[in-house]
Amino acid sequence: MAISPTTIVIFGASGDLTSRKLIPSLYRMDRKGRLPENIRIIGVARSPFDDDSFRLKMADAIKSLSADDWNEEAWNKFAPRLGYARGDASTDGGLENLQNQLETIENGLPGNRLYYLSVAPQLYPEITKNLGKLGMASSVDGSASNPGWRRLIIEKPFGHDLSTAKSLNRVIRTHFHEDQIYRIDHYLGKETVQNLLVFRFANTLFEPLWNSNYIDHVQITVAETVTIGNRADYYDNAGILRDMFQNHLLQLLCLVAMEAPARYAADPLRNEKTKVLDAMPVFSVEEARQRIATGRYQGYLNERGVKPNSQTPTFAAVEFSIDNWRWRGVPFYLRSGKGMALRSSEVVIQFRCPPHLMFPMPPGSSIQCNRLAICIQPDEGIHLNFITKEPDRDGTVLVPSDMEFHYRNAYANVKIPEAYERLLQDALNGDASLFMRSDEIERSWELIEPFLLATEDSHAKIPEDYHIGTMGTAGADSLLAKNGRSWISMGLAKKPKD
Ligand code: BG6
């Protein structure tokens, strides 16, 4: 029997994401032998490409990303899989070219199709409706092994707030079933983010300590050195809370805080994440105001495309809590910003201090209590910080020391793959574990909304200025200082001296 073909259809093929992430990831997957033999990839956009000029553009993109990645032979094998179907997918008749190409590829067989919406978010509803209207959304159950599936990957942002996210969910679910929908949060595709689960649930060492009895607080930092570049159109309307907190940071928090699912499968995993979000209180706007500090890098207002009276924050620090048995009373401090001192994403678990120290210490001195840092990027690894005795000193001198694990040493010959490789692979395999379910998305918006109001309503403070190349604002420091805590940047401590 002929094997059903699989086609990945990328809407928004002339966009940045396609050339910087999607096609390079598919090309690398092909080099690793991870794409099905009979797969085709069709780009759809309004730009006047044909197959050849589209391939050329993609080849140039891969070469410019990394010369190491380029391999003529691999490209020549991959390129024939790539095609282009010009059209405006959000209009009537805009899918005609694509339909013709799919017909030729599938040649009467029940083909599998993975649609990827890499377009401006306002086009999501129209494209989904068109796919539905033309009968391109429903899976056709081709045979026992089930070829003929249709899946839809949707990029972030998923909505602008709770009500837009809900209505987007409604529109999409009119045409696709929940189990056909793959909402991307690319952070979940990062190796080290998945390693968080492995670290917690494939080891016994830390899990007994992973609760309010032993943990004082948790910090999650996603710092970027980049500024908004040429993304003002999007960013000035979104800001740091929509861009990073509603999705990436809350997802990290869920992985740190969730209970162990019984099985590594989409629903058990997503159920546990949703339980964490459910246990987080939705604050009033006034409470939210007390729990957030925002900032804006100096020069933001001069960025091209930013509104002159913009109040959009490019940095925020937020204190969340989780009201359940495990976490009650343990603050989760999240911060993220653009234009910061270093690119570093890390989770820091600050353990409680020993209840009593028997060692003679100078009056007023204290020790650095145990902490564990899980570094997500760029120096992927795990650091466990504990106290040691400095040898050959007068008396007992206590100093913090690090036990370190670095991916770059442990897996010296392995290049950490791009998150999109993993996510595309999973979507092809029908595994939605690392994608977000509609209830998760809606609850995340519910939790973020008071903070949006607190920073956007008429009482909102203008975000505090910070210099590019620093780690944020004094307000963010005060948020922790009021409880005698301070931000920890393991990444910063390890930043090589320039
Ligand atoms: C995206 C945001 O989702 O994540 C960007 O829209 C941000 O503003 C990016 O720069 C960060 O991703 P990464 O993988 O570089 O940490």
Give yes or no for residue 426 CB within 6 A of ligand 1.
Answer: no
* 64: CB partners within 8 A, 6+ apart: none
- Token pair in block for residue 192: 């080290």
User: What's the gap in Å between 314 CA and the centre of ligand 1?
Assistant: 13
51-68 average pLDDT score: 94
Dist. CA 489 → ligand 1 center (Å): 19
- pLDDT in the model for residue 4: 84
Q: State the pTM of this model.
A: 0.95
In short, whether 191's Cβ falls inside 6 Å of ligand 1 is: no
The protein residue with its alpha carbon nearest to ligand 1, atom 6, reads 243
pLDDT of residue 260: 97
**pLDDT, mean of residues 324-339:** 98
Q: What is the pLDDT of residue 169?
A: 97
* Phi, psi (degrees; rounded to nearest 5) at 216: -80, -50
Cβ of 224 less than 6 Å from ligand 1: yes
3-state secondary structure the chain: CCCCCEEEEEECCCCHHHHHHHHHHHHHHHHCCCCCCCEEEEEEECCCCCHHHHHHHHHHHHHHHCHHHCCHHHHHHHHHHEEEEECCCCCCCCCHHHHHHHHHHHCCCCCEEEEEECCCHHHHHHHHHHHHHCCCCCCCCCCCCCCCCEEEEECCCCCCCHHHHHHHHHHHHHHCCHHHEEECCHHHHCHHHHHHHHHHHCCCCCHHHCCCCCEEEEEEEEECCCCCCCCHHHHHHHHHHHHHHHHHHHHHHHHHHCCCCCCCCHHHHHHHHHHHHHHCCCCCHHHHHHCEEEEEECCHHHCCCCCCCCCCCCEEEEEECCCCCCCCCCCEEEEEECCECCCEEEEEEEECCCCCCCCCCCCCCCCCCCEEEEEEECCCEEEEEEEEECCCCCCCCEEEEEEEEEHHHHCCCCCCCCHHHHHHHHHHHCCCCCCECHHHHHHHHHHHHHHHHHHHCCCCCCCEEECCCECCCHHHHHHHHCCCCCCCCHHHHCCCCC
Single-letter amino acid code for the residue at 252: L
d(CA 232, CA 9): 28
Out of 157-166, 235-244, 486-495, pick the least confident.
486-495
Closest by CA position to 95, among listed 135, 49, 142: 135
Residues with a known catalytic role:
248
Q: Which of 142-146, 155-159, 394-398 shows the highest mean pLDDT? A: 155-159
Q: For residue 482, how far is its CA from the centre of ligand 1 (angstroms)?
A: 30
pLDDT in tens, 431-443: 999 999 999 999 9
Cβ–ligand 1 distance for 243 under 6 Å, the answer yes
Any atom of ligand 1 within 6 Å of the Cβ of 380:
no
User: Which one is predicted more confidently, 116 or 142?
Assistant: 116
Topology annotation, domain 6-155: Rossmann fold (3.40.50)
pLDDT at 17 over 70: yes
In tens, the pLDDT along 286-313 reads 999 999 999 999 999 999 999 999 999 9
Q: What is the dihedral of CA 59, 64, 66, 70, to 10 degrees?
A: 30
Q: How far apart are CA 303 and CA 321, in angstroms?
A: 35
Residue 143 has pLDDT above 70, yes or no: no
Which atom of ligand 1 is found nearest the CA of 226?
A: 10
Sequence-distant (≥ 6) Cβ neighbours of residue 56 within 8 angstroms = none
Within 8 A by CB and 6+ apart from 256, the residues are 196, 218, 220, 332, 347, 349
Atom of ligand 1 nearest to the CA of 234: 6
**Ligand 1, residues 156, 191, 222, 248: which to mutate, most atoms within 8 A of Cβ?**
248
For atom 15 of ligand 1, the residue with the nearest CA is 224
d(CA 63, CA 457): 46
Kindly tell me if the per-residue pLDDT of 427 is higher than 70: yes
Using the predicted structure, report yes or no on whether residue 497 has a pLDDT greater than 80: no
CATH architecture for segment(s) 188-481: 2-Layer Sandwich (3.30)
Per-residue pLDDT band for 146 (boundaries 50, 70, 90) equals low
Q: Closest ligand 1 atom, CA of 156?
A: 3
* Atom in ligand 1 nearest the alpha carbon of residue 231: 8
φ/ψ (deg, to 5) at 280: -90, 130
Residue of 25, 154, 187, 230 to mutate, ligand 1, most atoms within 8 A of C-beta: 187
> d(Cα 327, Cα 330) in Å, to the nearest integer?
5
pLDDT tens by residue, 368-418: 999 999 999 999 999 999 999 999 998 889 999 999 999 999 999 999 999
pLDDT at 144 over 60: no
Residue ranges covered by each domain of the chain: 6-155, 188-481
Minimal-distance CA residue to ligand 1 atom 4: 244
Residue 421 CA to residue 429 CA, distance in Å, equals 12
Determine contact, residues 232/305, Cβ cutoff 8 Å: yes
Probe ligand 1: pick from 25, 183, 191, 224, max atoms within 8 Å of CB? 224
How far does residue 222's CA lie from ligand 1's centre (Å)? Answer: 9
* Residue appearing with tokens 């690319």: 186
pLDDT for 71: 95
Rounded to the nearest 10°, the torsion over CA 221, 226, 229, 233 is: 0
Calculate mean pLDDT across residues 3-31.
Answer: 96
pLDDT in tens, 28-58: 999 999 999 899 999 999 999 999 999 999 9
Alpha carbon separation from 349 to 209, 322, 386, 408 (Å, rounded): 11, 15, 12, 22
Residue with CA closest to ligand 1 atom 5: 243
224 alpha carbon – ligand 1 mean position (Å): 8
C-alpha of 87 from chain center: 30
Could you tell me the pLDDT band of residue 279, with boundaries at 50, 70 and 90?
Answer: very high
Query: How many angstroms does the Cα of residue 388 sit away from the middle of ligand 1?
Result: 38
Report whether pLDDT(247) > 90: yes
pLDDT of residue 496: 44
Determine the straight-line distance between the first and last CA of the chain, rounded to whole angstroms: 62
Q: Determine the residue type at 6.
A: T
Given pLDDT bands bounded at 50, 70 and 90, which one contains residue 361? confident
- What's residue 498's pLDDT? 37
CA 147 to centroid of ligand 1, rounded, Å: 34
Bridge partners, residue 329, by sequence: none
Asked if residue 495 has pLDDT above 80, the reply is no
